[in-house]
């Protein structure tokens, strides 16, 4: 039997957790560029290539978020970095769960809105996914606005704060917090 030492517990996230963390960051960057470049969606807008790419990348991010949450719940969380004040440990924990929440709520609302608009959600032209709502289902018009607002404001603001905290630890505090999420 392997006895866990405190240095094991400190050793940070698993390779899979790191890969998923940075892959989702990369896909989100692509997703925001597409979102801002795609045409304004009006009542009679037909989905063009950019809109279809937005739907496909969005569902891909949702799929990776599911895998990532599954991994997170089935693996031991590394112990907080040594010497951090409790308020920082607590706020990082709350931030991480809020980010997880948005990684689900934002794409699901997008998918609901695509269904509401009657857009087929076709994954990179390979296969079509089911609709989450009937086209123009009464009472679901808001899904598009809330999707865009949560992505453009809540998600960008929280990711910004989260990244700023990581960079503060690395460049100002010069502790090992960022290293816990870096390869190696
Ligand atoms: C985490 C993943 C996602 C992010 C970050 C994201 C981001 C965004 C953003 C920022 C906008 C607003 C664009 C603007 O500023 O005008 C938008 C609009 C939209 N997105 Fe997403 N999106 C994601 C996933 C999805 C998914 C999975 C779908 C559908 C399968 C989707 C469908 C839509 C639709 C239909 C709109 C237009 C909404 C409207 O204007 O009424 N999105 N998205
Ligand atoms: C430049 C951007 C980013 C940097 C520098 C960064 C950095 C980090 C670092 C250093 C950790 C480890 C913190 C600790 O050990 O307590 C971490 C964890 C985490 N990050 Fe980020 N991150 C970035 C972007 C993102 C994005 C875009 C998301 C999701 C929307 C995200 C979600 C998370 C979550 C949920 C955790 C907790 C660990 C886990 O469950 O995987 N991060 N990040």
* Each residue's pLDDT tens digit, 127-184: 999 999 999 999 999 999 999 999 999 999 999 999 999 999 999 999 999 999 999 8
What per-residue string of b and e applies to 86-98 under the rule 16 or more CB within 10 Å gives b? eebeeebeeeeee
User: Is 119 within 8 Å of 51 (Cβ atoms)?
Assistant: yes
Residue 34 pLDDT greater than 80, yes or no = yes
Ligand approaching nearest to the C-alpha of 158: 2
Q: Which residues touch 19 (CB under 8 Å, ≥6 apart)?
A: none
* Angstrom distances, CA of residue 37 to CA of 31, 47, 159: 10, 13, 21
User: Is 64 within 8 Å of 24 (Cβ atoms)?
Assistant: yes
Question: What is the mean predicted confidence (pLDDT) over 46-50?
Answer: 96
CA of 152 to the centre of ligand 2 (A): 18
Q: Which residues touch 39 (CB under 8 Å, ≥6 apart)?
A: 45, 48, 50, 51
CA of 23 to the centre of ligand 1 (A): 19
């Amino acid at each position: 039997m392997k006895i866990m030492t405190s240095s094991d517990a400190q050793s940070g996230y698993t390779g899979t957790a790191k890969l998923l963390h940075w892959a989702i960051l990369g896909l989100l960057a692509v997703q925001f560029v597409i979102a801002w470049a795609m045409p304004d969606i009006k009542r009679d807008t037909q989905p063009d290539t950019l809109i279809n790419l937005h739907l496909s990348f969005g569902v891909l991010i949702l799929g990776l978020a599911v895998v990532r949450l599954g991994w997170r719940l089935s693996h031991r969380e590394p112990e907080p970095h040594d010497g951090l004040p409790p308020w920082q440990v607590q706020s990082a924990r709350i931030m991480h769960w809020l980010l997880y929440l948005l990684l689900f709520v934002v794409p699901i609302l997008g998918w609901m809105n695509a269904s509401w608009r009657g857009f087929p959600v076709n994954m990179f032209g390979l296969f079509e996914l089911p609709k989450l709502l009937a086209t123009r289902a009464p009472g679901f018009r808001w899904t598009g606005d809330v999707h865009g607002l949560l992505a453009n404001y809540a998600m960008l603001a929280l990711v910004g704060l989260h990244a700023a905290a990581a960079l503060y630890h690395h460049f100002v505090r010069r502790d090992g917090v960022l290293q816990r999420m870096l390869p190696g």
